[in-house]
Chain A
Amino acid sequence: ILNVEQSPQSLHVQEGDSTNFTCSFPSSNFYALHWYRWETAKSPEALFVMTLNGDEKKKGRISATLNTKEGYSYLYIKGSQPEDSATYLCAFPLTGTASKLTFGTGTRLQVTL
């Protein structure tokens, strides 16, 4: 992996379903992996910053795990609600400069009743 890649591109689930999606990044020279939540017509908001292999972070029904050796992070949403509908972005400092992030194209989640 030479870039920041996210899958799937979009996801449509029913209310109450649990779901997860993936962010892949170069496994060499790891510094930090960021997750953002981006609601339509708003601006991206930070969810998690993950720095250690095996890290697991949680915020309400949303959690994330990190595997720096294989270069991926998973974002999980338990019991999805319509208000979880958003695009979820991950970002990684590809150039090795912590302050300069490269963003993935995001996973667009739509939760319907």
Chain B
Amino acid sequence: NAGVTQTPKFRVLKTGQSMTLLCAQDMNHEYMYWYRQDPGMGLRLIHYSVGEGTTAKGEVPDGYNVSRLKKQNFLLGLESAAPSQTSVYFCASSTQGTQFFGPGTRLTVL
């Protein structure tokens, strides 16, 4: 089992560009999450999903959109990237308890 995987691992964007981060899990978990990690801030929840076809806002949702068309995939979109979105993004999945994390995507917005 691969667990939780994230694509891409690194990305550099210019301000105003768009991109989609892909998270995939093969553990049949209902719940999936997107976090961002910034120095001194810890992990902050962007959006999450409690099942296929459902999404909900987390603590810092502005500037991001998500979709959960398939149970195993959770996509995070940036429509118009801003330098404030430079961060490390982690995806996680769970069955309503312990969360399992992906390896992270390091995004830089110039």
Contact = CB atoms under 8 A, between A and B. Distances in A.
Interface residues of A, number: 19
A34 B98 contact: yes
Contacts of B48: 99-100
A80 to B, nearest CB: 23
Given A42-B103, A43-B90, A43-B102, A104 B42 contact: yes
A33 to B, nearest CB: 12
A32 B94 CA distance: 14
A30 B23 CA distance: 30
Contacts of B90: 43-44
B107 interface: no
Contacts of B45: 100-102
A52 interface: no
B99 A101 contact: yes
A49 B98 contact: yes
A43 B43 contact: no
A42 B101 CA distance: 10
